Amino acid sequence: MYKITILLSVLIILGCSEKKSADTIIDNNVKMDSTKKYNKLTPEEEQVILRKGTERPFTGEYYDFKGNGYYVCKRCDAKLYESDDKFDSGCGWPSFDDEVPGAVTRVPDKDGMRTEIICANCGAHLGHVFLGEGFTKKDTRHCVNSISLKFIPYGKMTETKTDTAYFAGGCFWGVEYLMMNEPGVIKTTVGYIGGHKDNPTYKEVCTGTTGHAEALEIIFDPSKVTYEKLAKLFFEIHDFTQVDRQGPDVGEQYRSGVFFLNDEQKKTAEKVINILSDKGYKVATEVTKANKFWRAEDYHQDYYNVTGKKPYCHVYRKIFD
């Protein structure tokens, strides 16, 4: 027993130290789907969007364009920017001081100095982002290649109906890694939910005093994947019989939980748990009404794909027929 206790302590320390060493990693939360059909690109568009080239300044279609509407990704049609956030910086490329929430991902450039911006949905290269130049009150400039964009006037864009789900099953790195590529999942974000502390940091959540659990926010297309299917997948990727822990990670922040947004989600979660109970499992998962979800720090987003590592306490096992 003494040796087992020592081993468990070492595993916990390794798990925690692994997270702390990640603080230099920038968000690269891009859902890459090799089976998805993207818009066909011209050779010139491929040079910029896929090979990270740059169009010549003052030549792009949208540099001096002043229409009212959305600027969307040329490759996948995801909304990226709104016309209200566009401004004239005189740099020779379209400039924006804000993006549609969650639409743009920042990645350290290979030159080691700049920060690249890419479409969070498909990974298309957009340009670079610069801070501290003083052009607008937001003090941010997204310098974007026109060739990476399409413009759609307000009222002309067909909206995709989406839904949201929140699951907590131990370290959110592993939960995200095993759920983000499910067909129908549009975007995943790791963060904190279920507690009482506003704007919690990772270090605060680790103290076990905030009430928050490490959780995953899933934006999905209900016409392609159901909430029930996502819930079943959630139970198949973690040990839902453990209380306030998952593998070597111990504490209330690692508890198993389904955070529902409405009665339909609650009933579905309870239905899935009843199936598990009928199979003989002792389910420890809490089913709780969702409160505010707080996005985690950038370096936690899509951690395993960014670092090239694999989950250390999550694995898929088939349970449901």
* pLDDT digit string, tens, across residues 157-174: 766 678 999 999 999 999
Residue with tokens 């209330």: 252
Beta strand spans in 53-174 (E):
69-73, 79-82, 86-87, 95-96, 104-108, 115-119, 125-131, 140-144, 149-153, 163-169
Q: What is the pLDDT of residues 110-131, one digit of tens each?
A: 888 899 999 988 889 999 999 9
Evaluate whether 289 touches 316 at the Cβ level (below 8 Å). Answer: no
Give the range among 32-46, 153-167, 253-267, 305-319 with minimum mean pLDDT.
Answer: 32-46
| pLDDT of amino acid 160 | 66
213 φ/ψ angles, rounded to the nearest 5 degrees: -110, 145
Helix, strand, coil in percent for the chain, rounding step 5: 25, 25, 50
Evaluate whether 186 touches 233 at the Cβ level (below 8 Å). Answer: no
All structural domains of the chain = 43-153 (2.170.150.20), 160-307 (3.30.1060.10)
Q: What is the pLDDT of residues 3-27, one digit of tens each?
A: 333 333 333 333 433 343 333 222 3
Please identify every residue annotated as catalytic.
143, 171
- CA distance readout (Å), 44 to 40, 148, 150, 242: 12, 10, 15, 53
Evaluate whether 275 touches 319 at the Cβ level (below 8 Å). Answer: no
